[in-house]
Structure 1
């Protein structure tokens, strides 16, 4: 239960609060909480069982990461609509079949962000429309190879790891 909330910072994507809360055991704690609107990520599999992975430059992570197409939920936008928009913008793809794969909590100690995961198939190419602050390379990796990269620590992004492993349970490794 939040007893008191002080705004520290309001940004374009996140807001930072100091929240004085009473925990379920009765203890009172002051927590730094980053409020985020949430996001969606897409495991896009083509007819050859290759997955679309983005090699993306992430300053906050110290360089290049392998990631799924993903992005932030816009106000009033459903997680599926976000997934569809981001797949088109970042990877230049539309999908004829969508399957939800649940959600993940990215860092529950400080973030309210929830990322919704989707499996997309029956893909068709459309023009990509990346944002100016995004440096993205689109790659098609055999799904079994992407899973091996995940297990070998080549892929370190949490939403990508969980998305690949969940898709492996649904789509199979073939």
Structure 2
């Protein structure tokens, strides 16, 4: 039997879920032929949640693993567990990450005046490793993709740019994350970088800049020195659109 606190959390998750549905209805569409149908009827939701709770308990996991709704939220994203019907008719749950920003985040491929590409050496908590990557970040309230790209360049590189070329959208993890982010290219209008990151950039985990020729960037990609999905995607789009040239430098 649920404790009062657990029952309260369960109701709160469902209440937040309904609010999210009202605010972001596009996230709950069931297109024709969808492999996983989101269940919006409360009785169906209860049956799916009960089925998954039983599976969880049998596996030694908390009963709350089956609860549906918004099960976690912070300033950047929420974690949503939907009740779903699979193509074989079985009921269950499926979890996804929903960014707080409706417009998504942004990443920007920065080019110096001589055509070199600017990379940041960034420590990432999730991987526990340093990565060579381009500036990127979550979208802010009321901010579009270009606005996010401009802010990230200012915060991470210390340069002010307002003229961007849109490279295209990116779905960073179609198996887990809802929505898309946006990729841009920016001409910095300068031939040099600052000697080292600012204190604010260092606090974000950035400890070095590197300007590489387009040929050197291709070699880094081919050799596996770059594993960041945003950087690889921006590189692929820029190459496909003819913005970058593999033989330059």
Q: TM-score, normalised by structure 2?
A: 0.63
**Among 57, 81, 87, the residue aligned to 1:18:** 81
Distance 1:142 1:107, change over 3 A: same
Runs (5+) with no aligned partner, structure 2: 1-29, 31-37, 40-44, 46-67
Counting strand residues as a fraction of each chain, which structure ranks higher?
1
Distance 1:25 1:100, change over 3 A: farther
- How is 1:1-174 mapped onto 2 (pairs within 5 angstroms)? 1=30, 2-3=38-39, 4=45, 5-22=68-85, 28-36=91-99, 37=101, 38-95=104-161, 97-124=163-190, 130=200, 133-136=203-206, 137-169=208-240, 170-173=242-245, 174=248
Structure 1, residues 3-29: CA drift from partner, whole Å, max 9, x if none? 255121112222112101346786644
SS in 2 for 1:60: coil
* In 2, Cα distance between equivalents of 1:72 and 1:54: 17
SS in 2 for 1:95: coil
Q: TM-score, normalised by structure 1?
A: 0.87
Q: Tell me how many residue pairs correspond in the alignment.
A: 174
Counting helix residues as a fraction of each chain, which structure ranks higher?
2
CA-based RMSD of the aligned residues comes to: 2.4
Deviation at 1:63, TM superposition (A): 1.2
Query: Which one has more relative contact order, counting CA pairs under 8 Å at least 6 apart?
Result: 1
* In 2, Cα distance between equivalents of 1:107 and 1:89: 25
